Amino acid sequence: MAALGKVWLVGAGPGDPELISVRGLELLRAADVVLYDALAHPALRSVCRQDAELRDVGKRFGQPSSIQLEINAELVALARAGKCVVRLKGGDPLLFARGAEEALALVGAGVEFEIVPAVSSPVGAATYAGIPLTHRELSSSVTFITGSDREGKPWSPDSWKKLATATDTICVLMGMRRIDAIAAAIVEGGRAATTPVAVIQWGARPEQRVVVGTLADIAGRVREAGLANPAVIVVGEVVSLRDTLAWYEKKPLFSKRLLVPRPSGQAERTAKAIRARGGDPIVLPLIAIEPPPDVAALERAASSVRDYDCVLFTSENGVERFFAVLRRLGHDARAFGNARLGVIGPRTADALRRYGLEPDVVAEEHVGEGLARDILAGGVPRRVLLARALVARDALPNTLRAAGAAVDVVAAYETKPVRDAEARLRELVETRSIEAILLSSSSTIEAVVERLGPRAPELLAELTVASIGPVTTRTAERLGVRVDVAATTYTVDGLLDALERHYVG
């Protein structure tokens, strides 16, 4: 008989995946099975183990969802099968989220559980809309209430009339179907028709939309704007502060949908940086990082790395793959001996530091020519090892050889196309579902053009094409693709800085 498992009821937060708790993130990374709601941000699923089972149970008002009793039974069955289960719920698990019902079912079945709280959706949505729910001069009380009723219970305007003057700020969840009736009942209960109201759709996400009005006109304004669930209605004088305190929508990349075609591990880091700037990253890896065809050559280089007086890396991938082989051979950072270490870019430098090595040279210009120039400024090395991609430019080794250095080039990895991404790429580009595409390397634009075929230049001309640096830009232009934005600092942050300047104008 399998050992009894355990269930964690985890709040995902209101929208922005960065708002999940540290504890919640740890549990997602360790879970055997994750049952997630539709309102939990999809990016949170990317942190789960590759072998974890992910189950969509819906739980979106008005949309097809699993029956709650079925979810309860599934949690019990999984725990009894010895699984570590995360029930990932949008917002906080105990605030209008039926987490208490699930917990009671687990208690009844004798299943161990824990509850991990989170930022609730009305608090998070209001904060991202620039609306404080309380304010010393405007509101000393706040009430959270659901606009939908328990099955079989008729809707009663009387309860809304009583609430009208009993509290300063009213937050209504799931109330969009009855927004006319709710507003009218609050006015009839004694609240002024001129009381400010905000409706926040998709709060704390790049899709966030906010409509502001009064109790008298908010329903009409919402209909005119086409807002629907998921949305939070905030009633009270605190809404008047939004014009001054709104901050999220002022980010230069707010609501911009940006395609990130990088390999999956790097794409997630880029996506996080985009979300921090208010953008909406669409992660679609078009290339994958794979071992080189001649692994034996890489192993020989790693085994004899001490024999070189200069070792160079041109990418984070090169560092990671080289050290993976080095560890497999039973070596560590000490294997480099007294070799000078040179890298291109801060990311590559950070990758070396993770293994306890400080680079001697970080190229000021983040291209091969720049690294060669900086290395030669310290004298011509006798013997150089360059660990890089299988296919790469030869400017770096050729410049060093021309100066008299003996250079051994070893492929630490190769990039291969991700074949099943073609249909999704075409759909995104042809339907204009993205506004910009981020080119972080020559291999990314080559992959994009290969998938789109002969019409690639024409299709991409309808988007903003952003390049990380001159090498990538030249590759794009060689393929007939116009580059609209070019980074002046050849890093992902530099690329996003350039894109912000482009949109700000």
Boundary residue ending a domain (97, 119, 141): 119
Residues 481 and 440 in one domain: yes
Token pair in block for residue 317: 């991938």
383-418 tens-digit pLDDT:
999 999 998 889 999 999 999 999 999 999 998 888
CA atoms of 235 and 198, how far apart (whole Å): 7
Our answer to whether residue 59 is catalytic in this structure is yes
Within a domain: residue 148? yes
Catalytic, out of 6, 16, 59, 256: 59
Within a domain: residue 1? no
Residues 109 and 133 in one domain: no
Boundary residue ending a domain (365, 387, 415): 415
Residues 242 and 328 in one domain: no
Our answer to whether residue 37 is catalytic in this structure is yes
Residues 133 and 245 in one domain: yes
Domain CATH for 323:
3.40.50.10090
Q: Does pLDDT of 198 surpass 70?
A: yes
Residues 389 and 470 in one domain: no
Q: Residue ranges of the alpha helices (H) in 454-491?
A: 456-460, 470-478
- pLDDT value for 63: 56
- Region 234-251: mean pLDDT is 97
Q: Does pLDDT of 247 surpass 90?
A: yes
CA atoms of 197 and 5, how far apart (whole Å): 46
Backbone angles phi, psi at 260, to 5 degrees: -115, 100
Residues 327 and 340 in one domain: yes
Catalytic, out of 6, 16, 32, 37: 37
Residues 104 and 184 in one domain: no
Residues 38 and 148 in one domain: no
Coil, strand or helix: which one is 214? strand
Boundary residue ending a domain (84, 119, 154): 119
Residues 437 and 407 in one domain: no
Residues 171 and 30 in one domain: no
% of the chain exceeding 70 in pLDDT = 97
97-138 tens-digit pLDDT:
899 999 999 999 999 999 999 999 999 999 999 999 999 999
Considering its fold, how many domains does the chain have in total? Answer: 4
How far is C-alpha 280 from the chain's CA centre? 8
Domain CATH for 211:
3.30.950.10
Residues 379 and 451 in one domain: no
- DSSP codes joined into one string, 23-77: HHHHHHHH-SEEEE-TTS-GGGGGGS-TT-EEEE----TTS----HHHHHHHHHH
- pLDDT value for 151: 60
Give 3-state DSSP helix, strand, coil % of the chain, rounded to 5: 40, 20, 35
Residues 35 and 78 in one domain: yes
21-47 tens-digit pLDDT:
999 999 999 999 999 999 999 999 999
Within a domain: residue 70? yes
- Region 38-60: mean pLDDT is 91
For 261, the domain range is 257-286+418-504
Q: Does pLDDT of 1 surpass 50?
A: no
- DSSP codes joined into one string, 295-358: HHHHHHHHHTGGG-SEEEE-SHHHHHHHHHHHHHTT--GGGGTT-EEEEESHHHHHHHHTTT--
